[in-house]
Amino acid sequence: MRHALFATVWLWAGLGAAEAAAPVTGAPLPGEDSYARKIIARTYNSGFELAHDTYNGMATASDGRIFYVLCSESMEIGGQMYCLDPRTRQVRHVGDLTEACGEKGRKTVVQGKSHVNFIESNGKLYLTTHLGYYSLVNGQEVSGVPPEGSGWQPYPGGHILAYDLKTGRFDDLGLAPNREGIITWNMDVRRGRMFALTWPSGHFLRFDLASKEWRDFGLVSGQGEAGQGETYRTICRSIAVNPEDGAAYFTASTGEIFRYNPAADSMERVQGEDMKKDYFGLYDPTSAGHMGYNWRQTAWRPMDRSIYGVHGNSGYLFRFDPATVRMEVLERITSLPSRASGMFDQFSYGYLGFALGPDGNTLYYLTGGPIYVSGRRVAGKDSTAMGEAKGLENLHVITYNIRRRQSTDHGPVFYQNGDRPLYCNSLAIGRDGTIYTLARITENGRTRADLVEIPNPLRSSR
pLDDT tens for the chain, 462 residues long, are 333 332 222 233 333 333 333 332 333 444 454 555 799 999 999 999 999 999 999 999 999 999 999 999 999 999 999 999 999 999 999 999 999 999 999 999 999 999 999 999 999 999 999 999 987 776 667 777 898 999 999 999 999 999 999 999 999 999 999 999 999 999 999 999 999 999 999 999 999 999 999 999 999 999 999 999 999 999 999 999 999 999 999 999 999 999 999 999 999 999 999 999 999 999 999 999 899 999 999 999 999 999 999 999 999 999 999 999 999 999 999 999 999 988 888 888 999 999 999 999 999 999 999 988 888 888 877 777 677 778 889 999 999 999 999 999 999 999 999 999 999 999 999 999 999 999 999 999 999 999 999 999 998 554
310-313: Cβ within 8 A, 24+ apart:
310/350, 310/351, 310/354, 310/365, 311/275, 311/277, 311/280, 311/350, 312/347, 312/349, 312/350, 312/351, 312/352, 313/280, 313/281, 313/283, 313/344, 313/348, 313/349, 313/350
In a domain, 57, yes or no: yes
14 located within any domain: no
Residue 289 falls inside a structural domain = yes
Q: Is residue 393 part of a domain?
A: yes
Q: What is the pTM of this model?
A: 0.91
Range of the domain at 367: 42-460
CA atoms of 140 and 377, how far apart (whole Å): 29
Number of domains the chain is built from: 1
Instruction: Please tell me the predicted confidence (pLDDT) of residue 151.
Output: 94
Flag whether 36 is in a domain.
Answer: no
Residue 321 sits in a domain whose CATH number is 2.120.10.80
Other C-beta atoms closer than 10 Å to the C-beta of 376 total: 11
Looking at residue 36, what is its pLDDT?
52
Whether 20 is covered by a domain: the verdict is no
In sign, the C-alpha dihedral spanning 96, 56, 360, 295 is negative
Q: How far apart are CA 270 and CA 133, in angstroms?
A: 35
5 within a domain of the structure (yes/no): no
Residue 174 in any domain: the answer is yes
